[in-house]
Amino acid sequence: MTIEHSSTVRTDLEKAAFDYYDNKRDDRINLDLGSTDGYYHHHFAVGDFDRTVLALDGDAREEAINVELHRMETRQVDVLTEALGEVPATARILDGGSGRGGTALLLHKAFGCRVDGVNISTYQNSFARNQAQAHKCADSVQFHDCNMASTGFPDASFDYVVTNETTMYIDTYETFAEFARILKPGGRYVLVTWCNNDAIDPHPPEATAIDEHYHCHTHRRTTYLRALLDAGLVPYEVDDLTEPAIPYWELRSHSDLATGIEKPYLDGYRSDRVNYIRIASRRASGDH
């Protein structure tokens, strides 16, 4: 069953995201990198890269850099799978803001369970469905034209919810309440995102540049924790991955695919004004 909402776009922030992603059809970074294995990502990465690629010359260097970028982006999904723990094949996962489908497909590959992606971009959903067909898992990995703040799924439908660098397009309080509603009691929600380190600067200039580039809104770190608790989602693991998020941007700054947004990320992370975090939370067992 595919769920569709006729009014998936409701706010100015959502409209900006829809216009940006639904019309981003010749995106070299995601399309070029993903074409190697059919896993198309809309997130960045953590961990170091193979430094020997920078010693190469010419086309060989560029090709090696891009292969390494894609390897890192694919490996980044492990940041989610590791936090989810042992997921049985009978489980059901929601991927909020599923993009062209890379995360959802890799989650299914890792656990063999049902994965539902929700996304307001009709173009990206169509693209992701084609990839599910190509990976021969369209019966188990489905993509829905709906808003992650109002999914339309019944209460307690999911064992797990994940968002992979997508919460900068949502109202955290509203959307986390929706995630709590569709999670079973004791179900887990894991998010990976960048955020403002408001202990140092609640409005860092690097985040402003990032928001302008990606038509998004970078939230404060404390906002995530408060919104989770308000929704009845109790954080049990909070990881600061800022330092391991730096090498990806260092490598990307050497690629012909660089867009100029590399410097704000590097400056933000190195100054600790912008952080890259993972939060794992669990829905409280009582009624919410």
The CATH number of 20-283 is 3.40.50.150
Query: What is the band of 217 on the pLDDT scale with cuts at 50, 70, 90?
Result: very high
What string of DSSP letters covers 175-229? HHHHHHHHEEEEEEEEEEEEEE-TTT-SS-HHHHHHHHHHT--PPBHHHHHHHHH
Antiparallel, parallel or unpaired: β 233-240 and 158-164: unpaired
Stated pTM of the model? 0.92
Query: What is the band of 11 on the pLDDT scale with cuts at 50, 70, 90?
Result: confident
- pLDDT at residue number 10: 81
Domain ranges of the chain: 20-283
Four-point Cα dihedral 37, 42, 46, 52, nearest 10: 50
- Asked if pLDDT for residue 6 goes beyond 50, the answer is no
